[in-house]
Every structure is written in structure tokens, then in C-alpha cells.
Structure 1
Amino acid sequence: MSAKPPIVCLLGPTGTGKTGAAIAISRRMPASVINFDSRQVYKDFPIITAQPDAEERAACPHHLYGFLPTGEKMTAARFVELAMEKIEEVRDRGRLPILVGGTGMYLRSLLSGIASIPEIPEDVRAGVLARIRAEGPQRLHAELEKVDPEYAARIHPNDTQRNARAAEVYAATGRTMTWWHTESEHSPAPYDALKVGMKIGLDELEPHLARRISAMLEQGAMDEAVAAYEKCPDPEAPGWTGIGCAELLAFLRDEMSLDAARGRWIKNTRAYAKRQLTWFNKETDIHWFAPGDNGPVCDLVEKWLVGKND
């Protein structure tokens, strides 16, 4: 019998049916879903970030979705703290914790340990933010590609928050984000994790993503963005940096047409899915399934849990 408590991690690129697989597992055994998607934590964007809907939430308990204000920042370290609290809470209730999402850094930080990056001096942080405002995140991303190509490949050139973080860490410590996440001393979380991945090829996934974005717009994504903008009009707020949020914000600020915003949303979502696949394909212990293969996923989880108790 394993000394570490078991958790199941459902991962993969956006739009591949991870929530459906988690709910299927919950129908076979008492289970609760814990989010590890960095965008689905924002409460003002449930449609745009594809958070589980009311019917899905009613199927089993869901945690760490839609609780963070648009102006507040989420970090990997904070996620680990919140996730560990929820895992223990779920286990205390006799349920299986199922972590569901696509932010690979959050999951790695939880399972392998959070990198102990020192506090960044305020003058370094202020200097990086001044550069972001003057030059945009793309310049920092181009510099990141030279010093840390592995990490640069995982983040979008327009991602203000992550490009700024990578730049300030390198400026303050002389070490890259990849070094901190792979070479520095970590304290791994005390869990035995089964990693289950859902994926299909990008060419097959792209039309599904385009249809999903059209459905989001029909379901009220624009109304959602308008309401969020009224509450938080700061375009630099962390919640606005997410894909879909950023494109609709550009439309609201008269920076592009709605058709152009939709097109960019689709393009950026595909690029994000590609980065997610690149990240997860480097993991060696993931059991991969096609979207909708929920029966075999449930069978694997049941067999794995039985093995933990032998």
C-alpha cells in the first residue's frame, strides 16, 4: 500500500474534454475536482475561460474556479498553497481529489516542488515594468528566447505577466526560470499522482476550438467582458492577460474590430494549445487518451486505485 495519498491529474490542451472525463470518474467513485488552470481562477470570466457550467458543477464538487478578482495576480506558489489545502479538505471528506487543467507549471510546481526563487528587489521589478510599458512584452520575450529558449517556448510573446516575471528573475538572480524550476532545490508535495492526458492533433483540434469560441460569443462572452471592464478598466490587470479576455478587451478599447478580435482569439488559442502539447509531451509518465474516451479513463483510475490498496 502506498504511503502517499493518491490524487488523479487530468491534463492536456484546452478544449479536449478534461472536465467531462473528471465527471465520468466521479460517477464511479466519490470524487471532487480541483482546478489547475491559471485563467479559470478569475471570477469575472466564466464563459471566456470555459469554466465548468452549472450542470457540470452539480455533478460533483468543484474547487478553485472563479474566485479571483480581475485585478489580482495568481502565482504558482499561491496555487500550490491553495491546491494543497483543497486536496486535504477533499480527502478529509472521503473523496478522491481530481486535479483538472492545462497550466503545466502549476501542476509541476505542486508535484515536484515550488522553486525557491528569492524576493525580487523593488528597483529591479520597477525597471522591468517600466520597460514593459515602454517597449511591450514582445521585446522582453525576444531577449528571453536568447537566454532561456525552453521557457520562452512555453509563454506567448504578448504575455505581460510571465515575460516580466522571467525578466526580473534573470535580472535579479542571474539564473533563468528553467534553471530555477529544474536545478534548484525543491520540496515535492507528498502525493502519489496518476497523470491522465487528453489530446488530439492540432489540425483536428483547431476547428473545435473555433466552434467553441463562436459558442462562447453566443452565450454572452462579450457581455461578460463589458461587465468586467466596468469593474476593472485597467488593461494591465492580470485577469485581462488571458486569451479571449485580451482580444475582447482590444475590441472594447476600439483597437480592432470584433471579427479581427475573434480571429486573433482563435489563432492565439491554437498557439496556446500547441504550447501546452509541447510542455506535456516532455512528461514521461502520462497515460494519453482521446477526447471522449471516458470509459477507459475510468477503468485506468479504478485499476490504479486498487493497486494502491494491494
Structure 2
Amino acid sequence: MKDPIETMGRARAVLIAGPTASGKSAFALAIARACRGVIVNADSMQIYREMRVLSARPSREEEAGIEHRLYGHVSVREPYSVGRWRDEAEAVLAELRARDVPAIVVGGTGLYFKALSEGLSPVPPVDEAVRAHWRGLAGKIGAAALHAELEKRDPAMAAMLEPTDAQRILRALEVIESTGRSLADWQAQVGVPLVGDDALKLVIAPDRAWLHARINARFEAMVAEGGLEEARALAQMKLDPAMPAWKAIGVRPLAEAVMGERDLSEAIERAKTDTRRYAKRQETWFRNQMGDWPRVSPEAVEEAAMRVATALGGAGR
């Protein structure tokens, strides 16, 4: 089998996906340093400015040496969607192309990569009054009641969503009320990709035991490096439970620990378990949705980074 990196020729961008704690950020940094590229975030939690530690965002030292985009630019109080990320990423990629600078897009949110490589369906903007109505109602009646309401209005869409998935239920309700059409109908329409065949697409594929050890060690480090303080600050903000940031892995158990509602050691173990489960879901997504993307083992990333940098233009740009 031919090496996909060697046969790439001159790439315009590289997309690096992988499960949490697999070493994606270090891989991206090595590539960016070698080809003077810009790292673009494709992680749905690393967009939040108040969650540097708990989202495992690159450190200030790492960000200082290499240009990073779409990291920490959104408040946890703001609603945020894959559609908004796609629009922001489109602007960033266009700017980097104009500057002739390689883009290294890295993250673990599969839907973001799907938006890049396949495009999103053209769902019209939601009326702000409709959005405010459903967001306000969500805080009063909860996800299960919202799901029951969606079953009345859009039973086919309701059957596709878990009754606990408040964010997606809200989105479906907002769209059908604003447009008169099911979100499923809009999603069936073909979108426009932001990257083409000139992008190198890779997935980091670690051994399961290795990844679990990394997840456990990293969460211990998060707690030691300020994770508890971040969780306390988020709890004090009294966020709407429907906001995605409140669902970030580790936030709720650590917040309960700092408020005296849960033993800290038990909270840490719960967060580790949740992270391992999340990594498994990510791996399933990558296998099913990105099965044709070449795999790179964590042991091979250092050597692979140099070859990727050459495909992007090399260190002499």
C-alpha cells in the first residue's frame, strides 16, 4: 500500500482527528513548527475561554510560539453550533490560503471534520424570538418534556434523538418552528465542503490500553493544574443546563466536589470513566465516518510530522 503522505504532493492543509488524549495537539505543534503553519481548532470544548484546563487546550506557552486560531474565543454563556464553527473556519481557511500559510486543523469533534470535508446542509437561521422561547422553556421543563413536545411536532426527528439530548432537541424544535420544515429534511440536503483533495486527512489511532493510561494521567494533571478552580468558577456562573459547556467531561463531577456534594476522589474517578467512554464513542465515529482516512499510531507521530510538514511546504517556507 502506498504511503498517503508520500503520495500527497503539495497539500494545502492537513486535518488531524483522534480520540481525546491521543497526542493530537503535540502532533499539530510539531508540524506547525516545521512548516510555519497555523493550528486551527476543531474541538467543540476548546472554543471556550473559561475552560483552558478542563478542555485540555494548548498551554499559553504552546500558543505563544505558534499561531492558534478558534481557541478560547467564545464565552461558555454563548450558544455555539457546528454551523457557527463552520462559518468561522471557512473565514480562517480563506485567510490562510491568501497568506499562503499551511493550515493544520486538529481536534476530536467528528462533526466539525464532517462539516469541513463534506459540508453542512443549508439550514436557514433560526428566528431569535423562537430561540429565546425554547431556551427559556428548556430551563423550566427539562429535556424529557422537550422531547415529548418534539414528538408531537416532528415525530421522525424525535425518534432520532435521545430524550436526554437537550441541545439537539432544542435545535430541532427551533428549526421546525422557524422554517416549518423538519431539521431532518434540511440535513438531507447536500452541503459544500471547505476542503478538497488537496487536504491531507489523518486519524491518530492509539492502542486502547495506552490511551486509557494517558486519559487517567492527564485528568490527574488537570486537577493539579487548576481544573477544580475552573469547575468552581463554572458552577458559580449558574449556566443554563442546556449549554454545551456544562456538559464537558469532568465539569459536573468536579463542580459537585467543590460544592461539597460529592467526594473529590470519587469525582475524579467518575470523570476518568466518562472520558474513557467518550474516547470509545470518538473511535466508533472515526471508524464509521472516516474509515478511509489513513491512521497514524502515537509512536509514529514524530516521524510522520516531518513528512507531513514536507507535504505542506517544508521548513523552508
Q: Same fold (TM over 0.5)?
A: yes
1:243: Cα distance to partner? Answer: 1.4
1:65 paired residue number: 71
Comparing 290-299 and 73-82, the one that deviates more: 290-299
C-alpha displacement of 1:252: 4.2
Alpha-carbon distance in 2 for matches of 1:73, 1:267? 27
State the shift of 1:101 in Å: 0.4
**CA deviation after TM superposition for structure 1 residue 212, in Å:** 0.8
Q: 1:12·1:102 contact (CA, 8 Å) conserved in 2? A: yes
Give the drift of 1:56.
1.8
Q: Which residue of 1 aligns with 2:30?
A: 24
Indicate if the aligned counterparts of 1:137 and 1:163 stay in contact, CA closer than 8 A. no
Match of 1:287 among 280, 289, 294: 294
Give the number of equivalent residue pairs. 295
Task: Classify 1:125/1:140 alpha carbon distance in 2 versus 1 (closer, same or farther; 3 Å).
Answer: farther
Q: Which of 184, 189, 194 is the aligned partner of 2:194?
A: 189
Q: Partners of 1:159 and 1:53 in 2: how far apart?
A: 31
Q: Is the 8 A contact 1:33 1:60 kept in 2?
A: yes
Q: 1:263 — aligned with what?
A: 269
Within a 5 Å distance, the mapping from 1:38-53 to structure 2 comes to 38-53=44-59
Write the distance in 2 (CA, Å) between the matches of 1:189 and 1:106: 11
Once structures 1 and 2 are overlaid, which stretch shifts more, 167-176 or 209-218? 167-176
2:172, 2:182 within 8 Å by CA — same for their partners in 1?
Answer: no
Native 8 Å contact 1:160 1:241 kept in 2 = no
Which residue identity does 1:209 align to in structure 2?
Answer: I
> Retained in 1: the 8 A contact 2:134–2:170?
no
SS of aligned partner of 2:91? helix
User: Quick one: structure 1 residues 151 and 91, their matched pair in 2 at CA, closer, same or farther if it must change by over 3 Å?
Assistant: farther
| 8 A contact 1:5–1:190 mirrored in 2 | no
**Change in 2 beyond 3 A, CA 1:241/1:193:** same
Partners of 2:102 and 2:160 lie apart in 1 by 32
Query: Cα distance 1:100–1:124, how it changes in 2: closer, same or farther (>3 A)?
Result: closer
Q: Judging changes above 3 Å, is the alpha-carbon distance between structure 1 residues 247 and 169 closer, same or farther for their aligned structure 2 residues?
A: farther
* Cα 1:175–1:93 shift into 2, 3 Å: closer
Higher mean C-alpha displacement, 71-80 vs 197-206: 197-206
**Which residue is equivalent to 2:238?**
233
Distance 1:124 1:19, change over 3 A: closer
- Please list the CA deviations of residues 163-187 of structure 1 after superposition, one character each: whole Å capped at 9, or x if unmatched: 43356557863453xx644x31312
Task: Give a deviation string over 1:182-205, Cα, whole Å, max 9, x none.
Answer: x31312225432111112243432
- What residue number does 2:217 align with? 211
1:293 to 1:149, Cα distance in 2 relative to 1, 3 A: farther
1:57 deviates by 1.6
- Aligned residue for 2:257? 251
Structure 1, 62-71 or 288-297: larger mean CA deviation: 288-297
**C-alpha contact (below 8 Å) 1:137/1:164 kept by paired residues:** no
Report if the CA contact (8 A) 1:10-1:99 is conserved. Answer: yes
1:53 is displaced (CA, Å) by 0.7
Distance in 1 separating the partners of 2:159 and 2:16: 24
Q: Quick check: 1:55 aligned with 2:47? A: no
SS in 1 for 2:15: strand
Match of 1:134? 141
Change (3 A) 1:303 1:212: same
> Following the alignment from structure 1 to structure 2, what is the Cα–Cα distance between the partners of residues 138 and 193?
43
- Percentage of identical aligned residues: 29
Amino acid at match of 2:84: R
Conserved in 1, the CA contact under 8 Å of 2:205 and 2:297? yes
- Residue 139 of structure 1, CA deviation: 8.6
Q: What TM-score does the superposition give when structure 2 sets the normalisation length?
A: 0.79
2: CA distance between counterparts of 1:246 and 1:167?
A: 26
Q: Which runs of 5+ in 1 are unaligned?
A: none
- Work out the CA distance in 2 between the residues paired with 1:204 and 1:284: 21
Relative distance call for 1:82 and 1:170 in structure 2 (3 A) is same
- Matches of 1:258 and 1:227 in 2, distance apart? 16
Alignment TM-score, normalising by the size of structure 1:
0.80
Distance 1:149 1:207 in 2: 38
Are 1:100 and 2:106 counterparts?
A: yes
Look up the match of 2:304: 297
Change over 3 Å in CA distance of 1:194–1:5 after alignment to 2: closer
CA contact (8 A) 1:44 1:69 kept: yes
Distance 1:136 1:252 in 2: 26
